[in-house]
Structure 1
Amino acid sequence: MSKLWQKSSTDTESEIAKKVEAFTVGNDYRLDQALVPFDLKASAVHARALHKAGVLSDDETKKLTETLSEIERVWKKGEFNISVQDEDMHTAIENYLTEKLGDLGKKIHTGRSRNDQVLTAIRLFENDALQRILPELNALSDQLVEFGKTHKHIPMPGFTHTRKAMLSSVALWAGGFAELLRMQHHASSGVEALIGRSPLGTAAGFGTSIDIDRDAEAAELCFSQPMICSTSAQLSRGWVELQFVQYLSGISAVLNRLASDIIQYTGETTPYFSLDDVVCTGSSIMPQKKNPDLAELIRGRHSLFMGYAATLQSATTNLTSGYHRDLQLTKEPVLKAVTDIEACIEAAQILISSLNVNEKEITEACTVELFAAEEAYKLVKEKNISFREAYRIVAENPENAEASDPGQKLTESTHLGSTGNPGLERV
C-alpha cells in the first residue's frame, strides 16, 4: 500500500529503504491507535466541508462518511490495523477508504495535509482527555475534604524543615492538598483555551485554494474557533502540547507531595497514619515488611512528567517556522502523560480510601514544643509586651512552654484556615 507522499519511482524494497522507513516511522503506527477515532471524526467533518465547497457530491459525501463510521466500528473491535508500511493512521484510513470506494477514497485528502490532520486529532484527544481528568481531579479533592471532615477533631504535628513546628490537624493537612487540586482544576481554563482552537483546514501551514469553511469545521468539532493564521498551526505544534503536559505535571506535583507525606507519616518513626494491606507490598527476604509501594510509585512518576515536558521543550527549541519532522516526536510525550496522570489520580484515590488515622499515636506526638509560639502569644496578651520580647523569653526557656491538650487547642483557633477552622466547606 502506498504512503500519502510516495511517488511511483520511490524505492521501498532495498535494505536501506526499509531501515530508513523503520527509523522515520518510529512507533507512530502504534501510538496512532489512540488517535484513530479523533482522526475519523475530523475526516468526516472535512468531507462535509468539501461538499459545501463543491468538491464532493451528496452521494460521495454520504459514502465517505458512512465508510469512516465503518472504520470506527472496526477500530472499536480492535481490528483496525496500522502497519509500519502505512506509517500512520492517516495513510491506513485513506487506504481503507480507497480499497472500499476506489478513487473516491483518494478525494478525502483534498485541501488538507497530514500536518493539520495530526494536529486536529491531537487537540481533540487532549480536550477529550481533559474532560475525563478534571472530574476525577475533583473527586480526589472531595475525597480529601471528606477525610479531613471525618477526622476534624484529631490534632497533628505541623512540620517545617522536617522538624516539629506548630500544632496542626488532620483536617488542615488534608485540606491543603484538596485546595491545591481545586486550584489546579480552576487553572484548566488556560490550557483549554490553548487546545480549543481548530487547526483543521490549515493544511501544510499555508492554507489551500479550496474554499473551506473553517469556522463551520471548528464549530462542528466543538472547538471555540479556528486558528486564524495557517502558519500559527504549525508554530503551535509542540508549543501547545508542552503547556498541556506542564498542566498535567502540575497535578502530578501535588500528588508527589501528598504521596511523600503518606510515606513519611506511615513509617515507624512517625506512625500517624496506617495503610491497608491492599496498597502495600512485602519483601522477598524480610517477613515483617509492609512497604508503601503505591505511594512510592505515585511519588516517582512525577519524574516522568518532568521528562515528558523536557522532551517537548527540547524538540521545539531552535526550530524555524513551518513543519519539521522533529515535531513527530512531540506526539508520544502527550499520549504517555495522559495515560500516566489518569493512572496516578486513580492510584491516589485508592491510597486515600486505604488511609487510616492512628489517633493515639498522632495525638501523643503533639508534644510541648508545638505550643512555643502560642506561649509567646500568651505573654504578649498577659504582660503587654512586644512579640519580639515574648519570642526571646520563650526561646531562652522553651521547656517552660505550657503543655496543652492538643484537642482542646483545636477549638481555640477560629480564624479561617487555622487548625480549628480549616475551611473545608469552602474548599
Structure 2
Amino acid sequence: MPNNSNDLNTKQNKEHTKTHHKNDVLWAAEGAQKLAPGVMAYLAGEDVVLDQALFVYDIQGTQAHLQGLAQIGIISESEYAAFIDALDELKTAFEQGTFSLDERFEDGHSAIEFYLTQKLGEVGKKAHTGRSRNDQVLTCLRLYMQDQMAVVKQLGIDAIEVLIELAEGHQDTMMPGYTHLQRAMPNTVAVWLLGFAESLMDDVQHLNSVMHLLDASPLGTAAGFGVPLQLPRAETAAAMGLSRVQINPVSAQNSRGKYELICLHALSYLLLDVRRFAWDLSLFMTSEFDFIQMGSSHTTGSSIMPNKNNPDVVELLRASLSVVDGAVQQIQSLLSLPSGYQRDLQLSKEPLIKGMQKTQATLALLPELLQALTFKKDQMKDAITSEMMATDQALEKVKQGQSFRDAYLDSKQDDELIITAEQSIDQRVSLGGAANLGLNFLRVRLEGLV
C-alpha cells in the first residue's frame, strides 16, 4: 500500500471529478434510467455539506465495521489491512484539505465507498457487506454526538471554574439582591456568581446522563431488521469506544431523531442559564444600574453615536438559546412518524449540527468574558438602602422571643433597631448564604462531574 501524499490525494481528487458524479448513486441498477438532476439534488439536500462535520466519524464507523467483517471471515486479514490503510489516508487527506467532500458526492457515505472502490478496486466493493446506510448514518451520528457533547461538557466545566474563581475574589463585594426586579435584600457578587456556577453544574450532570445514553452502538442493525451474518457487534462497539450495543434493530432505527432531540434539550438547559446570566449583565451594565463595566475586548461601538459602548456579545449570548430551541422544534416536527426509517429523518442532521455548533461557540466565549468584567464596588454598595435590612431586623426580634409574623409587622414601623448591610451579610450563615458560601462542597461536586 503506497504512502499517502498531497500530490497523490490531489491527483485522486481530480480523478474523482472526472469519473464520479452525484447522480452515479450507489443503489442504482445497471442500465436503469438516472434520476433527473433536480430530483437528485432535492434528495441529497445539504447532506454533502452537513456531512463534513460527520465525515471522520463515518470513517471511524466504517473501520469498526470492517474489523467485524474480518473477524467473521467475510474479508481476509490482508484485505482488512488494505481497507484500514485506505481509510486512514482518506481521513488524513480530508483533515488536510486535499480531499474535498463536495457536490460530486451524494453524501459522506457514498464518498467513502467510491473512494475505497477506486483505491482498492473490486476489494473496495466488499466494504458495505452486511451494512445499510441506515445504520451507517446512525453510527456516525452517535459518534459525533458522543464526541461533541464531551466538548460541550468541558466548555461548561471551564466556565464553572472561572465563575468559582471570580466568586472567591468577591466574597466581600456587596450588591443588592433582587426579586421581581425590585431591591430585596443585601447580597454579594460571590453569591450571585455561584448561583450560575451551581446551575451549570446541574446542566453538566445532565450532560453526563445523556452521554451515558449515547454510549451505545447501533452498528450491525443495518436497515432495521438485522442481517444474516454473525456480526461481532460488541467487539465493533468497543472498537469505536462505545460500551454497549443497541440490541433491537427497530429500537435503533427509532432512536434516529430522538437521540438528537435529547442532546438538543440538554444543550438548551445550558443556554437557558447562559441567557439568564446575560440578562443580568445587560441590566447591570446600563447607566441606570452602573454596577458592572465590561472591557473593550468584549464590547462594540455605534456606527453613528460616538458615545455608545454596546454589549453586543452579551446580547448574542442571550439570543443563542433561540437557535437551539428552533432546532428542537424542527426535529420534534419531524418525529410524527411510524416506526422504522423514513427519509424525513434526513432533515434532522442540520438542526443537530447547528445547535451543537452554536452551543459550543457560546460557551467558549464565557471564560474570557467573565474575566473582562469589572465590578463597581462603591456603586453596588450604595444601592443597598436601609429598608433592605427589614428582614434582618425582623429576625433579630425573633431571636429576642417574638414570633416572626409579629416581628415582620413591627419591623415595618421600627426606626430604632438599625442593622447595617455589613451585619446583614455577616449574619447570612445558612449554607449557601453570603457568610457560608459552601465553596468546598461546590468544588467537590464539580470534581465528581469531570
TM range, normalised to the smaller chain? Answer: over 0.9
The SS at the match of 1:34 is coil
Separation of aligned partners in 1, 2:29 and 2:190: 67
Which residue of the partner structure matches residue 349 of structure 1?
367
> CA shift at 1:213, angstroms?
0.6
* The one of 44, 47, 71 aligned to 1:52: 71
Is the 2:290–2:376 contact (alpha carbons within 8 Å) kept by the matching residues of 1?
Answer: yes
Which residue of the partner structure matches residue 427 of structure 2?
412
Separation of aligned partners in 2, 1:175 and 1:403: 29
Which residue of the partner structure matches residue 394 of structure 1?
411
Q: Which residues of 2 match residues 25-424 of structure 1 at below 5 A?
A: 25-317=44-336, 319-382=337-400, 384-395=401-412, 397=413, 400=415, 404-424=419-439
Separation of aligned partners in 2, 1:355 and 1:379: 39
> CA shift at 1:135, angstroms?
1.9
Separation of aligned partners in 1, 2:50 and 2:262: 20
The SS at the match of 1:166 is strand
- Counterpart of 2:427 in structure 1: which amino acid? E
Separation of aligned partners in 1, 2:121 and 2:418: 86
Is the 2:392–2:424 contact (alpha carbons within 8 Å) kept by the matching residues of 1?
Answer: no
Greater displacement, 271-280 / 400-409: 400-409
- Counterpart of 1:218 in structure 2: which amino acid? A
Where in structure 2 are there 5+ consecutive unaligned residues? 1-19, 443-450
- Counterpart of 1:379 in structure 2: which amino acid? K
> CA shift at 1:335, angstroms?
1.0
> CA shift at 1:67, angstroms?
0.5
> CA shift at 1:409, angstroms?
2.8
> CA shift at 1:30, angstroms?
0.5
Separation of aligned partners in 2, 1:294 and 1:238: 31
- Counterpart of 2:30 in structure 1: which amino acid? S
Once the two structures are superposed, residues 362-391 of structure 1 have per-residue CA deviations (whole angstroms, 9 ceiling, x without a partner) of 010111121111121122233x22211222
Q: TM-score, normalising length from structure 2? A: 0.90
Separation of aligned partners in 2, 1:392 and 1:130: 52
Is the 2:59–2:91 contact (alpha carbons within 8 Å) kept by the matching residues of 1?
Answer: yes
The SS at the match of 1:11 is coil
The SS at the match of 2:175 is strand
Where in structure 1 are there 5+ consecutive unaligned residues? none
Separation of aligned partners in 2, 1:286 and 1:11: 63
The SS at the match of 2:441 is coil
Is the 2:254–2:339 contact (alpha carbons within 8 Å) kept by the matching residues of 1?
Answer: yes
Which residue of the partner structure matches residue 448 of structure 2?
none
The SS at the match of 2:439 is coil
- Counterpart of 2:357 in structure 1: which amino acid? T
- Counterpart of 1:214 in structure 2: which amino acid? R
The SS at the match of 1:102 is helix
Is the 2:163–2:193 contact (alpha carbons within 8 Å) kept by the matching residues of 1?
Answer: yes
Separation of aligned partners in 2, 1:401 and 1:10: 96
CA separation of 1:98/1:364 partners in 2, compared to 1, >3 Å: closer, same or farther? same
- Counterpart of 1:272 in structure 2: which amino acid? F
The SS at the match of 2:134 is helix
Is the 2:261–2:328 contact (alpha carbons within 8 Å) kept by the matching residues of 1?
Answer: yes
Give me the identity figure in percent.
36
Once the two structures are superposed, residues 309-343 of structure 1 have per-residue CA deviations (whole angstroms, 9 ceiling, x without a partner) of 111111112x1111000110111111112211111
Greater displacement, 129-138 / 190-199: 129-138
* The one of 8, 28, 39 aligned to 1:6: 28
Separation of aligned partners in 2, 1:185 and 1:40: 29
- Counterpart of 1:136 in structure 2: which amino acid? L
User: Over aligned residues, Cα RMSD in angstroms?
Assistant: 1.5
CA separation of 1:11/1:385 partners in 2, compared to 1, >3 Å: closer, same or farther? same
CA separation of 1:401/1:61 partners in 2, compared to 1, >3 Å: closer, same or farther? farther
Q: TM-score, normalising length from structure 1? A: 0.95
